[in-house]
Amino acid sequence: MTRSALWLTLVVALGGGRAAADDAGKKLSELAGELKQFLDAKKQKAITLGTLTGPDPTMNGGPGLTERLKAELVKLNVDVQSTGTTYKIKGEYKRAKPDAEAGKTTAIKVVLSLRDEDDEEVTKIVREIFDEQAIVEALGLNIELPPTPTKSAPNRERDLAIEQAIKAKPPIKEGRAQSSANGLFEMEILVGKEKEKRPVKEEEGQARVQLAKDEEYSVCVYNNHPKLEMAVTLTIDGINVFAFSDEKGKDDRPKYSVYILRPKQQFEIPGWHRTKKEVNRFKVSGYAESAVAKLAKQGDSSQFGVITATFSAAWEGKNVPEDEPDRMSEELFTTQGSKAGFDTEEVSRIIGSVRGAVSVRYSKSKGK
C-alpha cells in the first residue's frame, strides 16, 4: 500500500501503509467490536478505558496500544471516558512465545478485563497480535531483523531474532543505541538548545539515558543502510510523534505516520509534528502534563519512558528491494515543549516489513 510520508532532505514521508499487513489494527478493531456488542446488549453507550500495562515496569508500549483501541471504539460511536461509567476496561499486554510445532509465531497477547461498578470482572477478551512493528514497539527492543525469511519457515528466522533481542544486552557505540552490533540503524539523544549529546548507557540489560524534568530533547536517527531508503516510525511511550499533528487525513486522523531517510542519512527529529514546518519540542515532564496523559487520560505505573524508532524499507512504484520479505499485502514522561522550526516535504512511498528497531529508556524518577 502506498502511504504519504514526510521526506527528510529534509523529507517527511506520507507513507500509505506498511506493505506488511497491520495485524495490530485488525486485532484491536476486533476487540473494539466485541466491546461494542457487549455495551449494546447492556444498552450502554459509554465505557471507561484504562491504560494497558506491560509485562514489567520498564516496558511502556501500553499508552500507544490504548490510544489505538480508543480510536477503534470511537469509530463505533462508543463514548470513551476516563471515569464515571457503568463498565470499565482494565487491560494488559504480554509476550506470547512462539510455538514452532503449532505454527505460532512471536506475538504479544492483549488481555482486556471488562469490569462492573463493583470492580467485578464481567468478561475477558483476548487477542494475539503478530504484527512485528507492534511487537518491537510494545517490548521496546533493539533489533535487526533478517530481511529474507526461509521458504520452509517464512517467519521463524525473524521470530528467533525477536527472542534473542529480548534476552540480549543492547548494542551501544559512542553513546548511540544501535539495532545490532553492525550498527545498521542508530539513535542518539540531543538535549537543549546546545544539542548536548547525552550518552546512552547499558543498565540492567537495557539502553538507558538520563533526562531531567523540564529538559527539552531531540532524537537523532541514523539510516546506515548503503542502498535503501528507510521509513522511520518514532514513538514515545508507544505514542506516534505525529499523534498531535495539525495535518489530518480524510478520517480526521494524522495524515502522516513516518519519516523517510535516504541511504546513509541521519536526521534530527526535534519534537511532536504539528506541520511540515513546525514541531513542538520533546520535553520531559510530570505525568499530568505528558503526551501520554493528553491521549490516554489514565494513570500509568511504568517506571521508564521508552523512545523507539522502527525502520522499514521504503520505495517508489515497482522498485521493490530484492531482499524484501515475501509477506506483502498492499514518574517522567515526554510532553510537548516549545515550538521549533522544521522543514519537510511530502512524498509517497510503499513501505515494507520492519528491518530493525532501536529503543532507549529514560527514568521517570531520576534526574541527570
Mean pLDDT by 10 residues, the chain (368 residues): 50 42 82 96 94 77 85 93 92 80 76 95 93 87 80 69 90 96 96 94 92 92 95 90 87 86 93 88 68 52 78 88 63 54 74 92 60
C-alpha cell at 282: 520533546
C-alpha grid cell, residue 20: 506488511
> Among 132, 284, 278, 110, which residue's Cα sits nearest to residue 213?
284
pLDDT value for 252: 81
pLDDT, position 241? 92
pLDDT at 197: 96
Q: Is 266 exposed, middle or buried (CB count within 10 Å of its CB: 0-12, 13-18, 19+)?
A: middle
Report helix, strand and coil shares of the chain as percent, to nearest 5.
15, 40, 40
Please tell me the distance from the alpha carbon of residue 254 to that of residue 277, in angstroms, as a whole number: 15
364-to-67, 88, 206, 248 alpha-carbon distances in Å: 21, 27, 15, 32
Using alpha carbons only, give the angle 18, 19, 22 rounded to the nearest 5 degrees.
Answer: 60
Distance CA 198, CA 217 (A): 9
Count how many Cα atoms sit within 13 Å of the Cα of residue 182 in the half-sphere of its side chain: 12
Distance CA 146, CA 51 (A): 33
User: Is residue 157 exposed (0-12), middle (13-18) or buried (19+ Cβ within 10 Å)?
Assistant: middle
pLDDT value at residue 102: 55
CA distance 49 to 51: 7
> What residues contact 62, with CB distance under 8 A and at least 6 apart?
51, 52, 53, 54, 91, 92, 93, 138, 238, 300, 302
Chain center to CA of 339: 23
Question: Between the CA of residue 272 and those of 117, 217, 218, what are the distances in Å?
Answer: 37, 11, 10
Asked if 349 contacts 15 with a C-beta cutoff of 8 angstroms, the reply is yes
Q: Are 243 and 295 in contact (CB under 8 A)?
A: yes
Q: Where along the chain do its domains lie? A: 2-363
Return left, alpha or beta for 103; rule: phi > 0 is left, psi -120 to 50 is alpha, else beta. left
What Rg do the C-alpha atoms of the chain give, in angstroms?
A: 20
Q: Which of 286, 334, 302 is nearest to 62 (CA)?
A: 302
Amino acid at 320: V
pTM: 0.83
Q: Which triple of cell numbers denotes residue 172?
A: 551501544
H or E segment and range at residue 79: strand 79-81
The predicted structure's pLDDT at residue 10: 39
Phi, psi of 213 (to 5 degrees): -55, 140
